Amino acid sequence: MPRLAYVNHAFVPLDKAAVHVEDRGFQFADGIYEVCAVLNGQLLDWPLHLDRWTRNLSALLIPAPMSAAALTLVARRLIALNGYKDALLYIQVTRGAARRDHPIPADAQPTLVMTVRRFDFAARVPQQAVGVKVTSVTDQRWGRCDIKTVALLPNVLAKQTARLAGSFEAWFVSNDGVVAEGGSTNAWIVDAAGTVITHPLSARILPGIMRASLLRLAHAAQIKVEERPFTLAEAQGAAEAFLTSTTAPCLGIVEIDGVKVGSGKPGPVTRRLGELLWAEIERQTGFRPPAA
Ligand SMILES: Cc1ncc(COP(=O)(O)O)c(C=O)c1O
C-alpha cells in the first residue's frame, strides 16, 4: 500500500500530495509544525502537542484549520491507514495560499498537511549506552524561538555544521556563552551534586514536550532540578550532560566541542532519567524498549 498523507481535508498518496506554489509556508516560512511520536500505534503526549499547536497558531495569528478533536481523529486515521507501529507524525499548518505580499492576507485559508513515517525508537537504546557528541554554534536565530515555526534555516545550518564535525547535535550558544538548546533538542547538564540544570522557558528556547515530561518525572522522583541558564564552559566541566526530544527521549552527551564530559560515558543521573522516561513511554503506549 502506498504511503498516505493528509492534505487540506483529503487522504492522498504521498507522491501525489501537493500544496499551492504560492503557499505562504513555501514563500515566507509562514507556518508552524509539530512532530509527535507514535509508539505501538499510540500517540505519545498527544494533549501536550495539541496545546503547543494551539498556542503556536495563535502566536502567529493563524486560524486553526480544524478543531483539536477533529485533528485527533485525522491523526489517528492517518496513522492507522499507513499501518506503522513506531513512527513520527508530522503536522504542518501554514497561513495558506495567497498572492505574494508580505502583510497577512485577509482571505487565506490555512493549509494543513500531515505525514507519517516509520521511526525506529528501539535504535535509541544502543545509542543511549554510548552517548553522543555535540558541537557548539553561534545562536543566530530570531527572538521567538519558543514558537515552533517552519523557519528552520539556522537550525538546518547548525545541524549541518554538527554533522560535518562528526557530532549528533549542535548547541546554540549566545554571545554571553549561554547554551540555549540544541538544533532540534533541549539541552541539559548535571552538576557535581547531582542537580539537573536546563535553560528556563523563555523566548530563547522551544518548550520541548520531552523537556516537560522529564521535568515532571524528575520532580516526582525527587531529583533536584534547576531551570537556569548555563554556559558552554560550565557544560564542558559538568559531571554529565544530555539532550531530550521527541525523537531522542534522553541521550547522554559525552563530548562537547572535543572536550570530554564527566567520565566520557553517559552518567548515572542521565541513565536514571532515561529509565524514567522510557517507563512513562511504556505506561502511555505499551512500547517496551529492548534491553541495552
Ligand atoms: C529547537 C528545538 N528545541 C527542542 C526540541 C525538542 O522538542 P520536543 O521535545 O517537543 O521534541 C525541538 C524539536 O524539534 C527543537 O526543534
Q: What pLDDT, in 10s, does the model give residues 145-191?
A: 999 999 999 999 999 999 999 999 999 999 999 999 999 999 999 99
Residues 86, 195 share a domain:
no
User: Does the Cβ of 248 fall within 6 Å of ligand 1?
Assistant: no
CATH number at 214 reads 3.20.10.10
Residue 57 lies in a domain: yes
Residue 260 lies in a domain: yes
User: Does the Cβ of 92 fall within 6 Å of ligand 1?
Assistant: no
What percent of the chain lies above the pLDDT cut of 90? 97
Residues 272, 158 share a domain:
yes
- Chain position carrying cell 515530561: 213
Average pLDDT of every residue of the chain: 97
Residues 190, 266 share a domain:
yes
Residues 133, 61 share a domain:
no
Residues 129, 80 share a domain:
no
Give me the pLDDT at residue 98, please: 98
Residues 65, 31 share a domain:
yes
Q: What pLDDT, in 10s, does the model give residues 10-39?
A: 999 999 999 999 999 999 999 999 999 999
Residue 245 lies in a domain: yes
Residue 292 lies in a domain: no
Residue 226 lies in a domain: yes
What DSSP string describes the chain? ---EEEETTEEEEGGG----TTBHHHHH--EEEEEEEEETTEESSHHHHHHHHHHHHHHTTPPPSS-HHHHHHHHHHHHHHHT-SSEEEEEEEE--B-SS-SSPPSSPPPEEEEEEEE--GGGHHHHHHH-EEEEEEE----S-TTS-BS--HHHHHHHHHHHHTT-SEEEEE-TTSBEEEESSSEEEEE-TT--EEEPPSSTTS---HHHHHHHHHHHHTT--EEE---BHHHHHTSSEEEEE-SSSSSEEEEEETTEEPTTSS--HHHHHHHHHHHHHHHHHH---PPP-
Which ligand 1 atom lies nearest to the CA of residue 186? 4
Q: What pLDDT, in 10s, does the model give residues 42-65?
A: 999 999 999 999 999 999 999 999
Residues 266, 183 share a domain:
yes
Residues 105, 22 share a domain:
yes
Query: Which of 99, 119, 139 is where one domain is finished?
Result: 119
Pocket-testing residue among 55, 134, 185, ligand 1, by greatest number of atoms within 8 A of Cβ: 185
CATH number at 31 reads 3.30.470.10
Q: What pLDDT, in 10s, does the model give residues 192-219?
A: 999 999 999 999 999 999 999 999 999 9
Domain containing 65: what range? Answer: 4-119
Residues 218, 109 share a domain:
no
- Count the domains in the chain: 2
By the 10 Å C-beta count (0-12 exposed, 13-18 middle, 19+ buried), 251 is classed as buried
Residues 91, 49 share a domain:
yes
Query: Which of 119, 153, 175 is where one domain is finished?
Result: 119
Alpha-carbon span 13 to 24, nearest angstrom:
23
Rg of the chain in Å (alpha carbons): 19
Residue 291 lies in a domain: no
Residues 131, 248 share a domain:
yes
Q: Whose CA is nearest to atom 2 of ligand 1?
A: 184
Q: Whose CA is nearest to atom 14 of ligand 1?
A: 184
Asked whether 178 and 229 are in contact (CB, 8 A), the reply is: yes
User: Does the Cβ of 56 fall within 6 Å of ligand 1?
Assistant: no
User: Does the Cβ of 35 fall within 6 Å of ligand 1?
Assistant: yes
Residue 290 lies in a domain: no
Query: Which of 52, 87, 119 is where one domain is finished?
Result: 119
Residues 195, 142 share a domain:
yes
